[in-house]
């Protein structure tokens, strides 16, 4: 049977005469153009490739995006400067969105598909280093020679290895090892027709396994002993390339899928739209929602082409999840916000945009209002709507940049919210514009947000937010700000939760990890932090620099904690056997790595001058190195619960905390109270001292915060994720 490779989506002329200018100012104050790049690619500009965010060098986060000249560009978000070594050219048009994944060295590798329906016989799958050098490439095998890849490459863990997954324009969908480009065992999956959709990678059945949720096309005929009908498919494929379930439509499925807990009762759902390849097909203009077994839960006609990718998030601020879709009528666009349980339009929606909507909408809280705003890309700029009221609040790039992709919302290096759009101007040249939301420093992008194409830098298309009242993963550590007016919690999946004046600078939440996160440490100015995983992998955010890690290196015992030097220019990782690994300006002053311990090491703390440190074991034994003084321990004494953390009181004392919240003070450290006599819902897992050593905080595995002394309470995860009074 023939692959359905039709005409590629056209590049439409922009609506103003000059794209070199920034365009009119936003319709509300507070959003300003920070920088702009006009690309030397006239005639083959940025079209369907959406901007993504990645860490490529020590210049902070960068935006990466592809154009139809075959280039993948990278520019620093902070000032628009080009990243050294970029652009990378992959030899065929790039309509896919580049995906990004940590490579273990503190930077990201980039993965991209090339080739499109206008040039299906060129291109394939490519991995690019953080320095802009392609390090593997693979073409899809196809009897008709359609080897191109227009879909984006989603990154996830399949069969224990980090992999990328995407269909080709031929008849196969590939899963490839990110390190080598080798085909994952059991793949490719025979699709029997072209695929344009970026798959979602999600744990649909809460069993720790990754499933591939993908759409595709179908034409009438026989292939591989099976008869296919005209239309499309929704498929759920196991990590081994085995089909779990499917649903057939009578129209192509060209919208990327999205997965979240939007069904009734917080049930896991899959949402997707169709294309328009088969004229008059009843499923044209439809948006579908299914459960995780491919059973359709609702189907709605939105009055326009639903080829753009849907978004999932909380636009009402009620803790639930709604489905948001932009449709293309051929002359303008329409944005719908739907009740996730039944597909009904919410009050105030839909709204109409003057420009057509071809790319997917994104969702983020731009005002710290507690709900997400809707960013709709159009062929006449980006329209931003208030999520609750559906009122237009800003237009960016109007008359200067036409968009066929999704906008990117980021937390920029200075902590403010940035908005990046990438499209084409009146001369069909690529244009990238980066805007900054004033007064947004320290704001998060919002709970249950969808801030970019396919939700995250790995393009998993999965809103991995647990049902209200639950965390995806337990909290494992905390750190406080230098002012003492805020703190961060870190979860084992790498999620970071900021309270008080603690700013969110990014996290590993929703990104593939080889081993879980076990600790965190903040920089001295509070404008960044590090997360460390059990394999020693180190992830740096904000102004925290990467100085090396034990990631990928052999360890006798897993890493259990991290401590930063006072100037923030180095850090230590400590393993369960007390092995100590120093990076940056952190000095090595000894360890228990060669000592037989009664119980494993569970944490460490640095002295104020960084010339020493303490290690603590789960039985309360304390080991002092460098200029760290020994002031006593709980070693050899009876404990109700094991010790889980240590916190320093200047240079002359320390506290130990047990999993029941019992606190033990030594040296100059005063006792301010504990939860040792309380019944806790979840065990205490971490502790952080106040900045003046006049108090401390403890955090439990469910994110519960306990403040003692002069340390103040600024919020906690149980309060944030408490069940709302009602869902939409």
Structural domain contains residue 450: no
| 502-519 mean pLDDT | 84
Q: How far apart are CA 550 and CA 315, in angstroms?
A: 41
CB atoms within 10 A of CB 203: 18
CB 306 within 8 A of CB 281: no
Structural domain contains residue 705: yes
The sign one gets for the Cα dihedral 89, 92, 98, 103 is negative
Residue 30 confidence class, pLDDT cut points 50, 70, 90: confident
Residue 161 confidence class, pLDDT cut points 50, 70, 90: confident
Percentage of the chain modeled with pLDDT above 90: 70
Residue 643 confidence class, pLDDT cut points 50, 70, 90: very high
| 50-66 mean pLDDT | 92
Structural domain contains residue 310: yes
Q: Specify the pLDDT at position 5.
A: 55
> Residues 427, 489: one domain?
no
Asked if residue 21 has pLDDT above 60, the reply is no
DSSP symbol at 305: B
> Residues 367, 491: one domain?
no
376, 407, 437 - which closes a domain: 437
Residue 16 confidence class, pLDDT cut points 50, 70, 90: very low
* pTM value surpassing 0.95: no
> Residues 486, 357: one domain?
no
Domains identified in the chain, total number = 2
> Residues 504, 409: one domain?
no
Asked if residue 718 has pLDDT above 80, the reply is no
Percentage of the chain modeled with pLDDT above 70: 93
Q: Measuring CA to CA, which residue among 184, 188, 100, 180 is closest to residue 140? A: 188
Asked if residue 280 has pLDDT above 90, the reply is yes
> Residues 415, 530: one domain?
no
Q: How far apart are CA 661 and CA 684, in angstroms?
A: 6
Residue 12 confidence class, pLDDT cut points 50, 70, 90: low
Q: Which two tokens stand for residue 489?
A: 């919690």
| 189-195 mean pLDDT | 91
Which structural domain range is residue 406 located in?
Answer: 31-437
Is residue 336 classed as helix, strand or coil in its secondary structure?
strand
Is residue 378 classed as helix, strand or coil in its secondary structure?
strand
| 251-279 mean pLDDT | 94
CB 378 within 8 A of CB 354: yes
- In this structure, what are the phi and psi dihedrals at residue 572, rounded to the nearest 5 degrees? -115, 145
Q: How far apart are CA 130 and CA 143, in angstroms?
A: 34
CATH number, domain containing residue 107? 2.140.10.10
Q: How far apart are CA 175 and CA 182, in angstroms?
A: 8
> Residues 562, 494: one domain?
yes
> Residues 213, 340: one domain?
yes
* 532-584 pLDDT, tens digit each: 999 999 999 999 999 999 998 989 889 999 999 999 999 999 999 999 999 99
Q: Find all residues with CB under 8 Å of 220, minimum gap 6, and list them.
A: 1, 228, 229, 230
Q: Measuring CA to CA, which residue among 598, 608, 611, 616 is closest to residue 560? A: 616
CB 549 within 8 A of CB 518: no
Asked if residue 178 has pLDDT above 50, the reply is yes
> Residues 329, 431: one domain?
yes
Asked if residue 145 has pLDDT above 70, the reply is yes
Q: Which two tokens stand for residue 646?
A: 């240590």
CB atoms within 10 A of CB 636: 9
Residue 441 confidence class, pLDDT cut points 50, 70, 90: confident
Beta strand ranges found along 26-86 (DSSP E): 31-38, 52-57, 60-66, 71-76
DSSP letters for 586-636: PPP---STTS--SS-EEEEEE-TTSSEEEEEETT--EEEEETPPP----TT
Asked if residue 712 has pLDDT above 50, the reply is yes
Q: How far apart are CA 649 and CA 652, in angstroms?
A: 6
Buried b vs exposed e over 481-516: b needs ≥16 C-beta within 10 Å? beebbbbbbbbbbbbbbbbbebbbbbbbbbbbbbeb
> Residues 545, 659: one domain?
yes
Q: Which residue has the higher pLDDT, 229 or 243?
A: 243
Asked if residue 192 has pLDDT above 90, the reply is no
CB 513 within 8 A of CB 496: no
Q: How far apart are CA 177 and CA 726, in angstroms?
A: 43
Lowest mean pLDDT among 143-157, 294-308, 454-468, 605-619: 454-468
Asked if residue 719 has pLDDT above 60, the reply is no
Q: Measuring CA to CA, which residue among 480, 549, 562 is closest to residue 518? A: 562
How would you write 475-541 as a 3-class SS string?
EEEEEECCCCCEEEEEECCCCEEEEECCCCCCCCCCCCCCCCEEEEEECCCCCEEEEEECCCCEEEE
CB 549 within 8 A of CB 532: yes
Residue 442 confidence class, pLDDT cut points 50, 70, 90: low
| 299-328 mean pLDDT | 94
Q: Measuring CA to CA, which residue among 436, 401, 566, 332 is closest to residue 77? A: 436
683 to 134, 238, 660, 696: CA distances (angstroms)? 46, 35, 6, 17
Asked if residue 10 has pLDDT above 60, the reply is no
> Residues 405, 487: one domain?
no
Q: Specify the pLDDT at position 297.
A: 97
CB 160 within 8 A of CB 206: no
Structural domain contains residue 23: no
Burial of 531 (0-12, 13-18, 19+ CB in 10 A): buried
387, 409, 437 - which closes a domain: 437
DSSP symbol at 132: S
> Residues 359, 492: one domain?
no
Lowest mean pLDDT among 131-145, 561-575, 610-624, 672-686: 672-686
- In this structure, what are the phi and psi dihedrals at residue 190, rounded to the nearest 5 degrees? -80, 110
Q: Specify the pLDDT at position 4.
A: 58
Structural domain contains residue 492: yes
Q: Which two tokens stand for residue 574?
A: 């400590």
Helix, strand, coil content of the chain in percent (nearest 5): 0, 40, 60
Structural domain contains residue 463: no
* 286-306 pLDDT, tens digit each: 999 999 999 999 999 999 999
DSSP letters for 81-116: PBPTT--EE-SS---SPPEEEE-SSSSEEEEEE---
Q: How far apart are CA 405 and CA 331, in angstroms?
A: 17
Could you tell me the maximum CA-CA distance found in the chain, to the nearest angstrom? Answer: 80
Q: Specify the pLDDT at position 722.
A: 35
Burial of 435 (0-12, 13-18, 19+ CB in 10 A): buried
Burial of 663 (0-12, 13-18, 19+ CB in 10 A): buried
384, 418, 437 - which closes a domain: 437
Asked if residue 122 has pLDDT above 60, the reply is yes
Lowest mean pLDDT among 221-225, 253-257, 285-289, 695-699: 221-225
Distance linking the first and last C-alpha atoms of the chain: 44
β-partners of residue 656 are 646, 664
Q: How far apart are CA 383 and CA 488, in angstroms?
A: 33
Q: What is the distance of C-alpha 514 from the center of its chain? A: 16
CB 487 within 8 A of CB 695: no
> Residues 490, 428: one domain?
no
Please state, rounded to an integer, the average pLDDT across all residues of the chain.
Answer: 89
Tokens 């499923």 belong to residue: 283
CATH number, domain containing residue 579? 2.130.10.10
Q: Find all residues with CB under 8 Å of 594, minimum gap 6, and list them.
A: none
H/E run at residue 719: helix 717-720
Asked if residue 343 has pLDDT above 90, the reply is yes
Asked if residue 465 has pLDDT above 60, the reply is no
Structural domain contains residue 17: no
Structural domain contains residue 108: yes
Q: Are strands 580-584 and 570-575 parallel, antiparallel or unpaired?
A: antiparallel
Overall size of the chain counted in residues: 728
Buried b vs exposed e over 569-578: b needs ≥16 C-beta within 10 Å? bbbbbbbbbb
């Amino acid at each position: 049977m023939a692959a359905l490779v039709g005409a590629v989506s056209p590049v439409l002329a922009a609506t103003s005469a000059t794209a070199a200018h920034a365009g009119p100012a936003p319709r509300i104050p507070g959003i300003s153009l920070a920088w702009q790049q006009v690309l030397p690619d006239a005639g083959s500009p940025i079209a369907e490739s959406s901007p993504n965010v990645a860490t490529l060098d020590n210049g902070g986060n960068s935006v990466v995006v592809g154009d139809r000249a075959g280039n993948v560009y990278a520019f620093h978000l902070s000032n628009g400067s080009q990243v050294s070594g970029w652009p990378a050219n992959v030899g065929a048009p790039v309509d896919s969105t580049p995906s990004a994944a940590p490579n273990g060295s503190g930077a990201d590798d980039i993965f991209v598909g090339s080739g499109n329906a206008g040039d299906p016989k060129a291109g394939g799958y490519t991995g690019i280093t953080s320095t802009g050098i392609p390090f593997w490439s693979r073409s899809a095998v196809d009897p008709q020679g359609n080897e191109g890849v227009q879909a984006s490459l989603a990154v996830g863990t399949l069969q224990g290895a980090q992999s990328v997954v995407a269909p080709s324009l031929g008849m196969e969908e590939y899963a490839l090892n990110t390190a080598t480009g080798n085909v994952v065992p059991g793949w490719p999956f025979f699709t029997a027709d072209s695929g344009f959709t970026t798959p979602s990678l999600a744990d649909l059945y809460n069993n720790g396994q990754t499933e591939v949720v993908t759409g595709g096309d179908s034409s009438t005929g026989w292939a591989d002993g099976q008869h296919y009908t005209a239309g499309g498919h929704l498929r759920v494929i196991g990590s081994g390339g085995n089909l779990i379930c499917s649903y057939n439509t009578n129209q192509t499925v060209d919208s990327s899928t999205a997965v979240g807990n939007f069904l009734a009762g917080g049930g896991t759902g899959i949402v997707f739209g169709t294309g328009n390849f088969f004229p008059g097909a009843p499923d044209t203009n439809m948006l579908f929602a299914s459960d995780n077994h491919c059973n359709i839960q609702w189907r709605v006609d939105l009055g326009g082409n639903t080829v753009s990718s849907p978004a999932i998030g909380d636009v009402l601020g009620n803790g639930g999840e709604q489905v948001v879709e932009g449709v293309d009528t051929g002359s303008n666009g329409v944005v719908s916000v739907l009740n996730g349980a039944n597909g009904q339009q919410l009050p105030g929606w839909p709204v109409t945009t003057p420009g057509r909507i071809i790319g997917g909408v994104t969702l983020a809280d731009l005002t710290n209002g507690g709900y997400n705003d809707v960013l709709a890309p159009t062929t006449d700029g980006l329209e931003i709507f208030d999520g609750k009221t559906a009122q237009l609040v800003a237009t960016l790039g109007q008359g200067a940049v036409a968009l066929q992709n999704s906008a990117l919302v980021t937390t920029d290096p200075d902590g403010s919210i940035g908005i990046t759009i990438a499209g084409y101007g009146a001369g069909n040249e690529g244009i990238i514009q980066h805007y900054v939301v004033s007064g947004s420093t320290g704001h998060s992008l919002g709970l249950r947000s969808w801030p970019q194409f396919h939700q995250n830098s790995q393009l998993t298309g999965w809103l991995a937010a647990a049902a209200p009242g639950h965390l995806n993963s337990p909290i494992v550590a905390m750190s406080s700000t230098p002012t003492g007016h805020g703190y961060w919690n870190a979860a084992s999946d790498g999620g970071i939760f900021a309270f008080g004046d603690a700013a969110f600078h990014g996290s590993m939440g929703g990104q593939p990890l080889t081993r879980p996160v076990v600790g965190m440490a903040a920089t001295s100015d509070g404008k960044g932090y590090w997360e460390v995983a059990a394999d020693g992998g180190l992830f740096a955010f904000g102004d925290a620099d990467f100085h090396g890690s034990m990631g990928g290196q052999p360890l006798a015992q897993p890493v259990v904690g991290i401590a930063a030097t006072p100037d923030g220019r180095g850090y230590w990782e400590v393993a369960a056997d007390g092995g100590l690994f120093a990076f940056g300006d952190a000095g090595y002053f000894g360890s228990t790595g060669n000592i037989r311990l009664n119980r494993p090491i569970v944490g460490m703390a640095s002295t104020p001058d960084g010339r020493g440190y303490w290690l603590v074991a789960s039985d309360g034994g304390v080991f002092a190195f460098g200029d760290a003084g020994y002031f006593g321990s709980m070693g050899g004494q009876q404990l109700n619960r094991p010790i889980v953390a240590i916190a320093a009181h200047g240079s002359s004392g320390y506290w130990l905390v047990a999993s029941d919240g019992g606190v033990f003070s030594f040296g100059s450290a005063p006792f301010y109270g504990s939860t040792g006599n309380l019944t806790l819902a979840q065990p205490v897992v971490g502790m952080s001292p106040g900045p003046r050593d006049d108090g401390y905080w403890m955090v439990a595995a469910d994110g519960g915060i306990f403040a003692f002394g002069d340390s103040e309470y600024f919020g906690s995860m149980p309060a944030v994720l408490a069940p709302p009074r009602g869902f939409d």
